[in-house]
A and B are shown apart, each in its own frame.
Chain A
Amino acid sequence: MVGIIKYGAGNIFSVMACIKKIGWNCYFVEKKEDIEKAEYIILPGVGNFAEGIEFLNRNGLTEKIREKIREGIPFLGICLGLQLLFEFSEEGDREGMNILEGKVVRFKNINFKIPHMGWNQLEIVKKSSLLNGISKNSYFYFAHSYHILPKHNDIIYGITDYGIKFPSLIIKKNIIGVQFHPEKSGENGVRFIKNFLKKKWLE
């Protein structure tokens, strides 16, 4: 079973539809107790950092997610769900879940429109079986105004160019984080989630 964390708004429906298409069962995690039966956890992402972290903290989910990640459960954070893993975000000047070191900053000094909205390429900088069947520089769908700045570069597996090159795929042991929306990225996205559920990248 895949547990999808439901916190306020978000396109959780699409994440659920994508997982069902692959042939997995999933359910929504709304309270911390719900998380126990999950074999995989997905923290989807659409919305606002401050409201997101408040919801997770208030419902004891931050602590629970930390605990599960420590236990080694395969975890996927999407967009805001990736950003929430870090120590701090400029969006609302708030502390995050503090699971990964680094911060979240707004796009600055670029000659492009914000939000970064649309299909952009994932440049693979480090190989992983998570990307099996996905050719290099494949397009994925993005919709965000902030991006992560991890403290340690070794967790960066993919980057994307939007005036500056920002990390769009990170892997740290059982934690996967993507700035793009695999559930909205057509076939490449479905393949990505399929690979995530195969757990091979952990081996």
Chain B
Amino acid sequence: MDDTRLPELGPDIWEASLQTFTTVAIALFFGVLLGTFLGLVLYTTRAGGIFANRPVFVVLNFLVNFFRPIPFIIFIGAVQPLARIVVGTGFGIRAATFALALAAGFFISRVVEQNLFSVDPGVIEAARAMGASRIRVVATVLIPEGLGPLILGYTFAFVAIVDASAIAGVVGGGGLGSFALRYGFRQYDPIVTWATVLILIALVQLGQLLGNVLARRIMRR
């Protein structure tokens, strides 16, 4: 225990944690917005969907399949030029957050699409039979009926975002990932490494708990 620098790194670990929290929170927020939109488009435009549109579906399906499997450590570098245009810089926490939000969007689009399959197509048909417009059906039937599973899906995505956020250090994005690498792994200080692990576990557990409680409330069981 004498050879760990953990006690003196207190302020740094706190700062790294804050960076991870903000990066994850912002990426989750924008990822959910983008992913939900893309997921809804995927779900409703596929054959038999209420906005069935083959060209739109095929193009979007290809885009999502193209970007989603790129390992985040490569993705973050690959979208650097785009980050410069959108957030004004290719480095630091802003670029890292941008890349993370974008990757999360593609990831969440699939999660949303798949969770919407749990919505009974019968209720969509019933609403249509009542004379509701298609956009109204999406807003007032599809989303509310699928909300429970969607929240579980977002929670799943949250854990994946926390995981990917550790790579933010690649573009100087800071956070617990680069902290653990710099002060734990490279300094042969496993105590520091494990301290960050504990913080991340706490973060993931907290998020998972929140998601489960919310989903259960909405699904009422």
Q: Do A and B come from one complex?
A: no
A residues neighboring B (CB under 8 Å): none
B residues neighboring A (CB under 8 Å): none
